[in-house]
Every structure is written in C-alpha cells, then in structure tokens.
Amino acid sequence: MALDVAWAQTWVRRTAEVIAEHREELIELDRQIGDGDHGENMNRGFTAVVGKLDALDEAPAHVADVLKLVATTLMSTVGGAAGPLYGTAYLRAAKVTGLEELDAPAVVAMIEAGLEGIVARGKATTGEKTMVDAWTPAGSAAQEAASGGASPAEVLAAAATAAEEGAVATIPMVATKGRASYLGERSAGHQDPGATSTALILRAAADTAAAG
C-alpha cells in the first residue's frame, strides 16, 4: 500500500482497533508502575480521533493533515502525560510529511520527528523506562533499513520490530522519569506502558502498509 493519505487514515483506524484490543493490557501494565489509566486514556483518545475523522466535511488531502488531526485530538482528550507526549510526536511528524506519498527517507523523518517531539516535551532519554526506549530503537532501525534500500513499508516494519524489542527491554529497567520513578527499584520487572503503546502504534502503521 502506498504511504499516502489513504494509508494514514487507515493507520489511524487500525491504531484505534489495536489500542482497544490491548486496552486491558495497557491498563494492567500502568497499574503496576503508574496510575493505571494509560489503556483507558489511549482508547478514549483514538476513539475520539476516529470520530473526528468520520465527522470531517472534506477528506484530508495529505498525510500531514491526518497527523495534525491526531495530534490536536490526543492533546485535548488524553489525560496524563500521554496526551501531550503523543500529541507533540504527531504534530512534529506532521511537519515533515508534506509529500503526497511518503518514500523511505520520509518515513525515517516522520519517526525521528516524533521521537524528537517526545524528548523535547518529556525531557527523557533512553534507559529511563519510558516510551523513548521504544521510539529510539525504532528510529535507528528505520534509518538503517532505509539506508539499505528498503521500501517504505519495510522501513516501517523494521521500526515496529525494534519498538517491540525496545518495549520488552524496559522490563528490567529502573524508572527514573515519570510517575514510575516514585517506585524506585520496585519499578524493575515491569514493562513500560508507554513503550508498549508506542510499539502497538508503529506495528499498526507497518501492518497497514503491508496490507496494500
């Protein structure tokens, strides 16, 4: 599937479905080291995004338009840290996706811009048991795949796999950022919910691209 505005809209809808499917898992992960509301917040946010998409009088013209819609909706409907973080990620990504159709370098730019937005907003770095631990390897894997001549869909697949591995890698980490940091050593042994939702979102992007 070409990574155009149709892909972006389908990605959003697929993300909403995947988040809904994993809502309880995300709630439980967050209950172990946070407020326990990540799954509910993300589900509410992406349900609202789909509602906004359905209510548009005119279909979005570009990928960037879809990403901006996601950004503004998440910022206004998702509570906790996730709304501002993901909202900033999608907003930054929208700024670098002005093409009618994303090529491999544009996919890399989109992921890296999302990461930069999260780092700027959350002041986090790798190893602190946050979603940055999924986004960072995703960006590196995307860059490596694109440099090796991979297609846009293959770049997304590489990013999604790296994000999944990054999320799992948060399990032994001791959180030093966010609410989980209050637990200190007790935060070790639990997978970070933000890194997990990141992996779900990027996998939805890759699966949507592969389904074409």
At 173 the pLDDT is: 94
Q: Answer whether 139's CB lies under 8 Å from 147's CB.
A: no
At 180 the pLDDT is: 78
Query: What mean pLDDT comes out for the span 24-52?
Result: 95
Confidence (pTM): 0.96
At 92 the pLDDT is: 98
Q: Answer whether 31's CB lies under 8 Å from 41's CB.
A: no
Owning domain of residue 158:
5-210
Total number of domains constituting the chain: 1
At 179 the pLDDT is: 74
Instruction: Tell me the CATH number at 195.
Output: 1.25.40.340
Q: For the chain, what is the HEC assignment?
A: CCCCHHHHHHHHHHHHHHHHHCHHHHHHHHHHHCCCCHHHHHHHHHHHHHHHHHHCCCCCCCHHHHHHHHHHHHHHHCCCCHHHHHHHHHHHHHHCCCCCCCCHHHHHHHHHHHHHHHHHHHCCCCCCCCCHHHHHHHHHHHHHHHHCCCCHHHHHHHHHHHHHHHHHCCCCCCCCCCHHHHHHHHHCCCCCHHHHHHHHHHHHHHHHHHCC
Q: For residue range 58-91, what is the model confidence (pLDDT) as tens digits?
A: 989 999 999 999 999 999 999 788 999 999 999 9
**Residue 187 pLDDT level (bands cut at 50, 70, 90):** confident
**Residue 7 pLDDT level (bands cut at 50, 70, 90):** very high
**Residue 35 pLDDT level (bands cut at 50, 70, 90):** confident
Q: For residue range 147-183, what is the model confidence (pLDDT) as tens digits?
A: 999 999 999 999 999 999 999 999 999 888 677 776 7
Q: For residue range 119-157, what is the model confidence (pLDDT) as tens digits?
A: 999 999 999 999 999 999 999 999 999 999 999 999 999
Cα–Cα dist 73/79, whole Å: 11
At 212 the pLDDT is: 67
Rounded to the nearest integer, the mean pLDDT of the chain is 95
Cα–Cα dist 1/140, whole Å: 23
